């Protein structure tokens, strides 16, 4: 290896990429391919899914990404994320979907998890009135870095008709107070409105000039 190799790479960052086994060269070549791939798929949107523990965040994402209902989701430790590609009006979007853990002991990490998000789904559980109480707190978390981040409120588990304790009228009060752009009732069990809430959020993001540019490469 040339003793001056670091300076040489710095001065000739692109020409060196075609060379063989040197790990530094391989690394640089890898980074270039990586970046090229991300530029081809140039609509990567980070979306966060927020709400109290047990409202159905993980189950919703599982249904949306895999198409199946998961009756026994384990508690989400910290945060998980999924990727999903969708096409709307001939444009392909890659959604980076972040499942925020709702448990108190992870809350101190939330501001860093929501960094770079373009929009959020905020979930309440239509069978548990108490999940409305923390909507304001979750809204603040989602908007830690972007004051007017678009947030779609979703009422989960509407297949549990007998257990419903939250009426749509009650929820509407929160829309205006918290500046949430709509309310949609969903069921990860039956699939009701699962695809629609992601499309609605994406359409909203696309209509806001400051937000509709893709996220930076991962
Ligand atoms: P999280 O803590 O917000 O991620 O909530 P989970 O996704 O772990 O869901 C908590 C519980 O609610 C699990 O037992 C799920 O099976 C159940 N659940 C979630 N969504 C639905 C739904 O749409 N219908 C029914 N019946 N149960 C659901
Ligand atoms: Mg979870």
Closest residue to atom 11 of ligand 1, CA basis: 54
* Number of domains the chain is built from: 1
Looking at the predicted structure, is the pLDDT value of residue 23 above 90? no
So what's the pLDDT on residue 182? 98
So what's the pLDDT on residue 14? 35
Complete DSSP assignment for 159-172: T-GGG----HHHHH
Report if residue 217 sits inside a domain: no
Mean of the per-residue pLDDT values of the chain: 80
- Residue 206 confidence class, pLDDT cut points 50, 70, 90: confident
Report if residue 215 sits inside a domain: no
Q: How remote is the CA of residue 48 from the centroid of ligand 2, in Å?
A: 13
Domain limits for position 22: 5-206
Domain harbouring 185, CATH code: 3.40.50.300
Report if residue 90 sits inside a domain: yes
pLDDT tens-digit profile of 7-19? 333 333 333 333 3
Report if residue 106 sits inside a domain: yes
53 lines ligand 1 (CB under 6 A): yes
Report if residue 117 sits inside a domain: yes
204 lines ligand 1 (CB under 6 A): no
For residues 66 and 15, give the distance between their C-alpha atoms in angstroms, rounded to a whole number. 43
Report if residue 91 sits inside a domain: yes
Q: Are 45 and 95 in contact (CB under 8 A)?
A: yes
For residues 164 and 191, give the distance between their C-alpha atoms in angstroms, rounded to a whole number. 17
Report if residue 18 sits inside a domain: yes
Report if residue 85 sits inside a domain: yes
pLDDT tens-digit profile of 77-135? 677 888 898 877 777 778 999 998 766 667 788 888 899 999 999 999 999 999 999 99
pLDDT tens-digit profile of 27-57? 444 444 444 444 444 567 899 999 999 999 9
Q: Between 28 and 215, whose confidence is greater? A: 215
């Amino acid at each position: 290896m040339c003793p001056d190799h670091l300076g040489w790479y710095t001065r000739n960052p692109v020409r060196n990429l075609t060379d063989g086994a040197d790990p530094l060269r391989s690394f640089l070549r890898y980074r270039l391919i990586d970046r090229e791939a991300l530029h081809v798929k140039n609509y990567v949107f980070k979306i966060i899914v927020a709400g109290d523990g047990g409202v159905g965040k993980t189950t919703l994402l599982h249904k949306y990404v895999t198409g199946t209902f998961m009756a026994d989701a384990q508690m989400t430790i910290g945060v998980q994320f999924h990727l999903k590609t969708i096409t709307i009006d001939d444009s392909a979007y890659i959604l980076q979907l972040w499942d925020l853990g709702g448990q108190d002991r992870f809350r101190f990490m939330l501001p860093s998890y929501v960094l770079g998000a373009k929009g959020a789904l905020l979930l309440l559980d239509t069978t548990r009135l108490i999940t409305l109480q923390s909507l304001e707190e979750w809204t603040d978390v989602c908007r830690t870095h972007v004051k007017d981040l678009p947030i779609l409120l979703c009422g989960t588990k509407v297949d549990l008709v007998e257990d419903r304790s939250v009426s749509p009228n009650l929820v509407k009060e929160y829309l205006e107070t918290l500046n949430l752009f709509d309310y949609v009732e969903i069921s990860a069990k039956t699939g009701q409105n699962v695809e629609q809430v992601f499309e609605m959020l994406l359409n909203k993001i696309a209509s806001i000039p400051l937000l509709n540019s893709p996220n930076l490469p991962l």
